[in-house]
């Protein structure tokens, strides 16, 4: 029990960085997903091309390599250096925003054509159609896949340990490596519990959001939708 208290204290020192990276990464992911996802549906070809380059470029390259580029190559190329934790947020948001863009695109395209036609019949402008009719329905379809994406982002915060950001994985390594700690199984099990609890919190929030969205749209949350929302961690 004495060891447990020490381990918890050490891991908790990295918890704030893990939470900052997760919350900041989620916020940036949402913004980039909406911008890039809607850009993929733009009537202007050059906008679609730019968005597609971003999506395929970030999805098709290693997240760890992107991290090293942000931290080591970018300062050499342009002379700009991120504060470490915000560089981590940038990498997480850019990478997961590329995946989220396809979620947004697919959700918008899944809205029944009749909804577009009804909005046209009401003489709504394109912006009004998107804001008042299409996006509210598309958001309900986005929530389950975004739940999985956000949990994946949480787990990806562990890569920040590669650039010596002291999040919880780095803190666990600091416990193990210097003294060749024989309690390696217990410490890593405790680390798993930390990630599991945070994943469950994300899922609970997303479930609440889906219920709120379903009520606003006059829908019932089906068992299939609930299972999809739970996803795989």
Report the pLDDT value the prediction gives residue 4, as an integer from 0 to 100.
Answer: 80
pLDDT at 178 over 80: no
Report the pLDDT value the prediction gives residue 15, as an integer from 0 to 100.
Answer: 95
In order of their start, the domains of the chain are: 2-230 (1.10.3720.10)
pLDDT at 233 over 50: no
Report the pLDDT value the prediction gives residue 232, as an integer from 0 to 100.
Answer: 44
pLDDT at 125 over 80: no
What span, in angstroms and rounded, lies between the C-alpha atoms of 113 and 159? 42
Count of Cβ atoms closer than 10 Å to residue 63 Cβ: 15
- Beta-carbon-side half-sphere exposure of residue 87 (alpha carbons within 13 Å): 23
DSSP category for residue 222? -
What span, in angstroms and rounded, lies between the C-alpha atoms of 152 and 92? 10
Measured between its terminal Cα atoms, the distance across the chain in Å is: 29
**227 burial via Cβ count (<10 Å: 0-12, 13-18, 19+):** exposed
């Amino acid at each position: 029990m004495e060891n447990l208290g020490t381990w918890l204290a050490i891991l908790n020192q990295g918890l704030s960085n893990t939470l900052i990276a997760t919350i900041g990464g989620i916020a940036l992911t949402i913004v980039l997903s909406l911008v890039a996802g809607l850009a993929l549906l733009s009537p202007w070809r050059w906008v679609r091309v730019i968005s597609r380059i971003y999506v395929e470029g970030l999805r098709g390259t290693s997240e760890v390599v992107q991290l090293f580029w942000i931290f080591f190559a970018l300062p050499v190329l342009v002379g700009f250096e991120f504060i470490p934790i915000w560089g981590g947020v940038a990498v997480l948001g850019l990478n997961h925003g590329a995946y989220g863009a396809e979620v947004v695109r697919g959700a918008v395209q899944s809205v029944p054509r009749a909804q577009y036609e009804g909005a046209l019949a009401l003489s709504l402008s394109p912006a009004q159609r998107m804001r008042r009719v299409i996006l509210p329905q598309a958001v309900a379809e986005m929530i389950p896949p975004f739940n999985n994406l956000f949990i994946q982002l949480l787990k990806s915060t562990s890569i920040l340990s590669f650039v010596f950001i002291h999040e919880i994985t780095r803190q666990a390594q600091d416990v193990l490596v210097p003294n060749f700690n024989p309690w390696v199984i217990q410490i890593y099990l405790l680390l798993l519990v930390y990630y599991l609890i945070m994943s469950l919190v994300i899922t609970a929030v997303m479930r609440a959001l889906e219920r709120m969205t379903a009520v606003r749209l006059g829908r019932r949350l089906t068992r299939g939708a609930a299972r999809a929302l739970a996803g795989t961690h």
